[in-house]
Amino acid sequence: MTGGRRTRVLGLAEVRRLLTMEDALEIQRAAFVALAGGKTAAAPNSWLRLPPDRGGWLKLLAGYDGTGGGLGVKVLARFPHNPPGQNLGSLIVLFDPDDGFPLAVMDGVYITAVRTGAGAGLATAALARAGAATLGLVGSGVVAWHSLQAIRLACPGITSVRVHSRSEPRRSELCERIEAELGLEASPAATPAEAVAGAGVVVSATNSPEPVLAAADLTPGQHVNAMGIKTELAPDVLAAARVIGDGREETIGDGKFSVALAAGAVTEDDLGPDLGAVLAGHEPGRTGDAQITLFDSSGVAIQDVASARAVWERAEDEDAGVLVDLAGGDVLAAAAGTRAGR
C-alpha cells in the first residue's frame, strides 16, 4: 500500500495558484449534483468550542465524493476576535479512497473561501430573477469578497454593488477594490437596510452574533445568499423565504434555518430542496416571480473534499508542493523492530 509513496504538502500560495474561481464553480456544481444523487457520504459536522477566554472553536468536516474520488477531512479553527483575514486556520487531509493512504495535506483556508463563494455564485444563477443588476452586500471580509467574485462570473448581468460594513473605512476600501478588480460599480451604504434596498441579489456574509437583516428589510422577488454565521439573519427572514440549503442535515442542524427553527418561526417542512437538487433539475428553485429565495450556506464536507481532490490532481500533474515520506512504512514491522532492539 505505502511502498514508495509519499504525501504531497501544499501551502496556501500553491493551492491558490492551482484553484481558480472559474474552476471552483464547475467543481462545486459537480459536488452539489453528486450530493443530490446520493453519490457522497459525510459524517455530521462536529464542533469543539474552546473556553470563553480563548474565544475560538474547531470545526471538523469529513466526507467522501463517490463521483470524483475525494476522501478527506477538514479541520477548521476560527478565532473571530483576530484581525480580519487572520481569524481562520484550516488544513485538509486527502486520502486515497481505495486504500487510505494520505495523498495530501494542504491549506484549507483558501479552499474554504473559494468553495463557499462558488456556492453563492451557483445559487444566484439558479435562484435569482432574470435581469437582476444590483447586489446588496452586508459584510466586507473574505467570504464577502469571494462570493462577489463567484457571482460576477456566474451572473454577468450584475453591474453594481452597494456595500455595508460596520467599519466605514472597510466599506470604502472594499468599494474601491470591487471597482478596480471586478469592474463593477460600487458604493458604500450606511446601514444593512440601505445596502439591500431594492437590490435583486443580497449577500449577507458576517460574523454578527445579532441579526443584521430582518424580513422588513427585504422586498418581494429578491434572492438572498446567507453566507455568514447562523445568527446573522432574523428568524422572520427565513419564514418569509423559500429556503434552499447546501445539505439538509447541515441546514437544519447548523444553518441560519436552525436558528429560525429553534425560535419557532419555521418547521422542518418549510425547508426547500438542497441546492444540488435544483442544479440537477430534480427540484424547482424559484416558484414565483415575487418569491424571496434564500440560499442557506452552512458548509458541507463534499465541497472541501471535491476541491482538495482537484487541487491534488493538478499538483500531481505539475509536481507542485513538497513530497514527504509521511506514511512510508509498515507500523507492525516498525513495532517489531523496536521491540527487537530493546
Predicted confidence at residue 34, as pLDDT, reads 96
Predicted confidence at residue 44, as pLDDT, reads 87
Predicted confidence at residue 144, as pLDDT, reads 97
pLDDT along the chain (342 residues), means of 10: 83 97 98 96 89 85 94 90 72 96 96 97 97 97 96 97 95 97 97 98 96 98 97 98 96 96 98 98 96 96 97 98 85 57 50
Where helices occur in the chain by DSSP H, the ranges are: 12-18, 21-36, 109-127, 142-154, 168-177, 192-196, 235-240, 248-254, 256-262, 275-279, 301-318, 331-340
Interstrand relation of 88-95 and 185-188 (parallel, antiparallel or unpaired):
unpaired
**What does the block give as the cell for 77?**
479553527
Predicted confidence at residue 45, as pLDDT, reads 86
- Which residue type, as a one-letter code, is found at position 94? L
Whether 228 contacts 119, CB under 8 Å: no
> Cα–Cα distance between 274 and 31 in angstroms, integer?
12
Predicted confidence at residue 255, as pLDDT, reads 96
Of the candidates 232, 256, 228, the one whose C-alpha atom is nearest the C-alpha of residue 144 is: 228
Type and span of the H or E element at 88:
strand 88-95
Residues 288, 250, 22, 39, CA torsion sign: negative
Assign a CATH topology to domain 119-296: Rossmann fold (3.40.50)
Domain ranges of the chain: 7-111+301-340, 119-296
Three-state secondary structure call for residue 102: strand
Topology agreement, domain 7-111+301-340 and domain 119-296: no
At which residue does the C-alpha cell 440560499 appear?
295
Predicted confidence at residue 2, as pLDDT, reads 58
Type and span of the H or E element at 160:
strand 160-164
Whether 30 contacts 67, CB under 8 Å: yes
At which residue does the C-alpha cell 440537477 appear?
280
Predicted confidence at residue 86, as pLDDT, reads 66
> Cα–Cα distance between 112 and 143 in angstroms, integer?
9
Predicted confidence at residue 337, as pLDDT, reads 52
Q: Rounded to two decimals, what is the model's pTM?
A: 0.92
Q: How far is CA 302 from CA 69, 114, 272, 318, in A?
A: 11, 14, 20, 24
Predicted confidence at residue 341, as pLDDT, reads 47
> Cα–Cα distance between 331 and 64 in angstroms, integer?
25
Predicted confidence at residue 278, as pLDDT, reads 98
The class of domain 7-111+301-340 in CATH terms is: alpha beta
